């Protein structure tokens, strides 16, 4: 049972490493500039199988963990990776491994000397070396490519060649690095069974490669980089590759006493970013510390907690499954919550934008209506003044005619024919000059009717039986003329206007308490 669950947990770790750590190493390199993604994944598949076979051939007979330690180790890695992934904390399977190994060494399940030097070299020395090498490779690329006096196409060709070499060598170094991570776990599983070691190695390595290859392809396509980032992170690719070659190949060749130094691709990635992206240094420092300190410490505490359960392997499996399921549900919940929040924020922003657009349109409409109203008001004021002037002129004409009538009556008793003839000539001349009264009256009423078309229409809807005389009476009342002025304009007696007003009020069925002027102005 312990071996079966260890294999299951190891598969989960392999998938996580393929998606998170392999892709982080090539995340900022535009792979399609040098090869297709499918060809790159196939190349990784072959390289990983070869590296796993070589590593297993070298350490295949070496089984450092018994069944219980192997279960504790893989369960700790699964729990830590699940917790950190669900909470969004930057993490690494390699640094979590050092914390889990420290927990086992603390309880004397394994020899502490096995991890002391390699853990310190992996967590401390390798990131510092990558920072220094990133500066060196950045200077070299600037001097020999970016600042080189040649055509832009030649520079692009050099960059693609450097990228191709970095991707090929980096893939081999990274595959060997993580093959060394999995080899002790595989050899511990194989060492507990009666089947031959080569058969176990072939089956397990092939199965892991089949699982890892699609995961790597998914991770690279899901986190595709921009073309303009490739040349910026070539120094990281070369510096991390050189560190892995030195730690995993050079040191073990110098002396068999040295163990291979398995390093974290995520940790090296943020180490190089600290050297090259100074404007986001604080953010990269936090993530680097999360991988270097928080992940091993969490793995150490988790390992101690699992060891404290005793030798009950089933309880370890149940705890691991519960934590894994809880983290998965929490991750799905927070993803949906974040999507809902983003959607809600986008909807609110769209509503605010539409509201602002509507308010702006309303302001424009109000401004247009106000401007049009001001223009119409000015025109009405001008027309109203013209009507007032015209009414005054008509009033003067009426007064003149009344005076002329009195003068004619006085002349009826005159006996001097010559004097009568002269006065009649003078009166005829004055009358000829003032015979424009009827034309001006017609012009006056035409203007009144033109200005008050809508008013007359609304008035006829209230009382369709109004005569033409009553329409003009209503307009003059609405303009504020008194009965005396209206009588003067219509050339009738004021008493006649009063009678007409009374009949007009009865047609509109207005009560005596209603002010007819206000009523007509509000109509």
Helices marked H in 223-312: 227-230, 234-245, 251-254, 265-276, 281-289, 295-307
What distance in Å separates the CA atoms of residue 26 and residue 240, rounded to the nearest whole number? 11
Residue with tokens 């070539």: 234
Residue with tokens 């072959």: 46
What distance in Å separates the CA atoms of residue 295 and residue 148, rounded to the nearest whole number? 43
What distance in Å separates the CA atoms of residue 372 and residue 375, rounded to the nearest whole number? 5
**The dihedral formed by the CA atoms of 180, 125, 77 and 286, expressed in degrees to the nearest 10:** -140
Q: Are the CB atoms for 118 and 262 separated by under 8 Å? A: yes
What would the two tokens of residue 195 be?
Answer: 């089947």
Give me the pLDDT at residue 25, please: 78
Instruction: Spell out where 108-214 has E strands.
Output: none
| Residue 191: strand, helix, or coil | coil
Give me the pLDDT at residue 79, please: 95
What would the two tokens of residue 482 be?
Answer: 């008194």
For residue 142, how far is the Cα from the chain centroid?
Answer: 36
SS (H, E, C) 27-96: CCCCHHHCCCHHHHHHHHHHHHHHHHHHHHHHHCCCCCCCHHHHHHHHHHHHHHHHHHHHHCCCCCHHHH
Count the alpha carbons within 13 Å of 376 in the hemisphere toward its beta carbon: 8
Give me the pLDDT at residue 193, please: 59
DSSP structure class, residue 482: -
For residue 512, how far is the Cα from the chain centroid?
Answer: 67
| Residue 248: strand, helix, or coil | helix
What distance in Å separates the CA atoms of residue 265 and residue 244, rounded to the nearest whole number? 9
What distance in Å separates the CA atoms of residue 20 and residue 220, rounded to the nearest whole number? 10
Q: Are the CB atoms for 419 and 411 separated by under 8 Å? A: no
Q: Are the CB atoms for 61 and 77 separated by under 8 Å? A: no
DSSP structure class, residue 257: T
Give me the pLDDT at residue 217, please: 74
DSSP structure class, residue 22: I
Helix (H) or strand (E) run with residue 383 in it: helix 313-411
Task: Give average pLDDT by consecutive 10-residue segment, the chain, 523 residues.
Answer: 83 87 76 78 83 75 76 93 90 92 82 70 90 89 80 82 88 89 80 60 70 75 54 81 89 74 89 81 89 93 90 88 91 84 85 81 75 69 64 67 72 68 72 57 62 74 82 79 76 81 84 81 74
What distance in Å separates the CA atoms of residue 323 and residue 239, rounded to the nearest whole number? 37
Q: How far is CA 321 from CA 86, 396, 492, in A?
A: 15, 109, 108
Q: Where are the domains of the chain?
A: 2-311, 452-523
Count the alpha carbons within 13 Å of 213 in the hemisphere toward its beta carbon: 19
Q: Are the CB atoms for 235 and 92 separated by under 8 Å? A: no
Contacts of 292 (CB under 8 A, 6+ apart): 95, 123, 127, 267
What distance in Å separates the CA atoms of residue 247 and residue 128, rounded to the nearest whole number? 13
Q: How far is CA 46 from CA 42, 182, 217, 281, 353, in A?
A: 6, 16, 14, 37, 54
What would the two tokens of residue 506 be?
Answer: 């009865």
Q: Are the CB atoms for 314 and 1 separated by under 8 Å? A: yes
Concatenated DSSP letters of 111-127: -GGGTHHHHHIIIIIHH
CATH class of 452-523: mainly alpha
> Which among 101, 109, 71 is positioned nearest to 188, based on CA atoms?
71
Tell me the pTM.
0.65
CA R_g for the chain:
50
Count the alpha carbons within 13 Å of 387 in the hemisphere toward its beta carbon: 23
Angle between helices 295-307 and 93-106 (to 10 degrees): 40
Give me the pLDDT at residue 182, please: 84
Residue with tokens 């510390």: 289
> Which among 232, 202, 235 is positioned nearest to 130, based on CA atoms?
235
For residue 310, how far is the Cα from the chain centroid?
Answer: 51
Count Cβ atoms within 10 A of the Cβ of residue 216 and give its class: 0-12 exposed, 13-18 middle, 19 or more buried. Answer: buried
Contacts of 112 (CB under 8 A, 6+ apart): 105
What would the two tokens of residue 367 be?
Answer: 């401004």
């Amino acid at each position: 049972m312990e071996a079966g669950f260890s294999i299951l947990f190891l598969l989960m770790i392999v998938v996580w490493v393929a998606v998170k750590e392999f892709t982080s190493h090539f995340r900022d390199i535009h792979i399609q500039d040098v090869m297709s993604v499918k060809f790159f994944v196939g190349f990784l598949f072959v390289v990983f199988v070869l590296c796993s076979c070589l590593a297993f051939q070298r350490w295949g007979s070496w089984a450092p963990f018994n069944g219980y330690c192997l279960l504790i180790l893989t369960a700790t890695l699964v729990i830590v990776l699940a917790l950190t992934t669900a909470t969004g904390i930057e993490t690494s399977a390699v640094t979590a491994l050092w914390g889990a190994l420290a927990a086992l060494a603390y309880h004397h399940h394994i020899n502490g000397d096995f991890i002391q030097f390699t853990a310190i070299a992996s967590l401390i020395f390798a990131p510092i070396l990558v920072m220094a090498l990133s500066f060196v490779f950045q200077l070299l690329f600037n001097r020999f490519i970016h600042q080189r006096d040649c055509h832009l196409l030649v520079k692009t060709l050099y960059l693609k060649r450097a990228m191709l070499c970095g991707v090929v060598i980096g893939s081999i170094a990274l595959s060997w690095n993580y093959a060394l991570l999995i080899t002790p776990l595989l050899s511990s599983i194989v060492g507990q069974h009666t089947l031959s070691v080569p058969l176990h190695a072939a089956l397990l390595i092939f199965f892991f490669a089949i699982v890892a290859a699609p995961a790597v392809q998914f991770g690279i396509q899901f986190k595709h980089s921009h073309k303009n980032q490739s040349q910026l992170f070539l120094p990281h690719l070369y510096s991390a590759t050189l560190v892995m070659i030195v730690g995993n190949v050079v040191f073990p060749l110098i002396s068999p006493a040295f163990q291979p130094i398995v390093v974290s691709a995520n940790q090296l990635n943020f180490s190089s970013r600290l050297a090259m992206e100074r404007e986001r240094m604080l953010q990269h420092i936090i993530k680097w510390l999360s991988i270097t300190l928080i992940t091993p410490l969490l793995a150490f505490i988790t390992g101690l907690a699992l060891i404290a359960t005793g030798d009950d392997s089933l309880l370890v499996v149940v705890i691991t499954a519960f934590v894994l399921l809880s983290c998965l549900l929490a991750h799905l919940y927070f993803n949906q919550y974040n999507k809902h929040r983003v959607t809600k924020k986008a909807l609110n922003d769209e509503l605010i934008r539409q509201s602002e657009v509507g308010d702006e349109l309303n302001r424009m409409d109000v401004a247009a209506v106000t401007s049009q109203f001001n223009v119409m008001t000015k025109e009405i004021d001008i027309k109203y003044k013209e009507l007032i002037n015209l009414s005054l002129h008509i009033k003067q004409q009426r007064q003149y005619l009344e005076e002329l009538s009195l003068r004619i009556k006085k002349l009826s008793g005159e006996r001097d024919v010559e004097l009568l003839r002269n006065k009649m000539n003078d009166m005829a001349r004055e009358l000829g000059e003032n015979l424009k009264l009827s034309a001006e009256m017609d012009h006056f009423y035409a203007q009144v009717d033109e200005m008050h078309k809508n008013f007359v229409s609304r008035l006829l809807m209230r009382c369709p039986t109004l005569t033409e005389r009553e329409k003009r009476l209503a307009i003059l009342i609405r303009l504020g003329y008194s009965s005396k002025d209206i009588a003067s304009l219509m050339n009738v007696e004021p008493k006649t206007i009063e009678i007409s007003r009374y009949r007009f009020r009865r047609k509109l069925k207005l009560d005596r308490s209603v002010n007819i002027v206000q009523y007509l102005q509000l109509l």
